[in-house]
Amino acid sequence: MKLFVYAFRESDEREIFDELAAKYGFTYGTCAAYPSVENAHLAQGYDAITFTPCTFAKEQIDAFHAVGVRYIAARSIGFNHIDIPYAHARGMGVSHVDYPPDTVADYTVMLMLMGCRKAAYILERARLQDYSLAGKLGCDIGDLTVGIIGAGKIGATVIQRLAAFGCRILVYDVFENENVKQYASYASLDELIAKSDMISLHTLVTEENVHILNDEAFARMKDGVMIINTARGLLIDTPALIRALNAGKVGFAGLDVLENEDGLYYYNRMGDCIDNPNMAILRAMPNVVLMPHTAFYTRRVAYAMAENVVKCVLDMQAGRENPLINT
pLDDT for residue 117: 98
CA–CA distance, 119 with 145 (Å, rounded to integer): 20
Q: Which domains does the chain have, with CATH numbers?
A: 2-99+298-326 (3.40.50.720), 102-290 (3.40.50.720)
Count the neighbouring beta carbons within 10 Å of the beta carbon of residue 321.
7
* Active-site choice (261, 283, 299, 300): 261
Identify the pLDDT of residue 85: 96
Q: Provide the pLDDT for residue 78.
A: 84
Q: How many residues does the chain have?
A: 327
The string of pLDDT tens digits covering residues 5-17 is 999 999 999 999 9
**Pairing of β 71-74 and β 225-229:** unpaired
Q: How many CB atoms lie within 10 A of CB 303?
A: 18
The reply to whether 124 belongs to the active site is no
The verdict on whether 202 is a catalytic residue reads no
Known active-site residue 59 = no
Among 13, 75, 293, 307, which one carries the catalytic annotation? Answer: 293
Low-confidence ranges of the chain (pLDDT < 70): none
Closest CA to 327 of 55, 153, 79: 79
Residue 95 in contact with residue 72, Cβ under 8 Å?
yes
User: Do 48 and 73 form a contact (C-beta atoms < 8 A)?
Assistant: yes
* DSSP code at position 286: T
Select from 255, 264, 265, 262 the least CA-distant residue to 235: 255
- Spell out a b/e string for 276-287, using b for 16 or more CB atoms within 10 Å of the CB, else e: beebebbeebeb
Residues 6+ apart with CB under 8 A from 69: 4, 40, 43, 46, 47, 48, 49, 92
Give CA–CA dist 291/257, Å, rounded: 7
Q: How many CB atoms lie within 10 A of CB 322?
A: 15
Report pLDDT digits (tens) over 117-166. Answer: 999 999 999 999 999 999 999 999 999 999 999 999 999 999 999 999 99
Give the span between the Cα atoms of 130 and 238, in whole angstroms. Answer: 31
Q: In the prediction, which pLDDT does 179 show? A: 94
Strands 93-95 and 325-326, by their bridges, are antiparallel
pLDDT at residue 264, rounded to an integer = 85
> Could you tell me which of 24, 317, 292, 39 has the C-alpha nearest to residue 5?
39
Q: What's the predicted TM-score (pTM) here? A: 0.91
User: Catalytic: which of 13, 232, 259, 307?
Assistant: 232
Asked if 300 and 98 touch (Cβ cutoff 8 Å), the reply is no
Return the sign of the alpha-carbon dihedral for residues 53, 104, 217, 182.
positive
